[in-house]
Amino acid sequence: MLILCSSSNTRAELLRKAKIKFIQKSCNFDEEQIKSKEPYEFVTLASLGKFKECMKCFKNEDIVTADTIVTDGEKILRKAKNKEEAKQILLAQSGKKIKIITSMWVRFKGQVFGRVDETIYEFREFEKKDLENYLNSNEWVGKAGACMVEGFCKKYIKNVKGYESTAMGLCIEELLKIIGEEYAY
């Protein structure tokens, strides 16, 4: 069975919707140790670090790890630590173009695959009342850039280039190219 090495409910839901049999387990990796400020390098190092830890934990199983970041083109918009930080991060995206970058590592039948995918969104200005409701809902907790393209941000999408699954944390379309029907149910 495929092991999703992530505690993300969103990634698990993506696998379920794709009808992929999996179990969800995590290994510890502290991404705070990564010093890079460059978005592609940071997300690749984070997902690779998780992958290396999980390869130690799960010696022969097929595994997938991923990490996702949001960037406004200038800086990485990480997971918000509190509501005020989430508000500032979301305001940095309102009416602007952002990139959501996901790096994925897969060990499948002994072979290792690594990918970096991006989805670019252009948002309309967020309405103040909607933003406050979203912040009060706490749905932003644990989300890269406090961004939820399948939820709050959806109605503000002006343009999109790329897969929604990439923006949600795991590019299912590319994962399926690697594992095929092996874990389909």
- Summarised one tens digit per residue, pLDDT across range 24-76 is 998 889 888 999 999 999 999 999 999 999 999 999 999 999 999 999 988 99
- Summarised one tens digit per residue, pLDDT across range 84-109 is 999 999 999 999 999 999 999 999 99
E strand or H helix at 122, and its extent?
strand 111-123
* pLDDT tier for residue 19 given thresholds of 50, 70 and 90: very high
67 is annotated as an active-site residue? yes
- Of the residues 30, 62, 67, 117, only one is catalytic, namely 67
Pick the CATH number of 2-179 from 3.90.950.10, 1.20.190.20, 3.30.70.1140, 3.40.980.10: 3.90.950.10
- Summarised one tens digit per residue, pLDDT across range 122-174 is 999 999 999 999 999 999 999 999 999 999 999 999 999 999 999 999 999 99
Q: Pick the closest to residue 77 from 103, 107, 101, 50 (CA basis).
A: 101
3-state secondary structure 148-184: CCCCHHHHHEEEEECCHHHHHCCCHHHHHHHHCCCCE
Question: Taking the domains of the chain in order of start, what are their residue ranges?
Answer: 2-179
Predicted confidence (pLDDT) at residue 175 exceeds the cutoff of 90 = yes
CB 146 within 8 A of CB 69: no
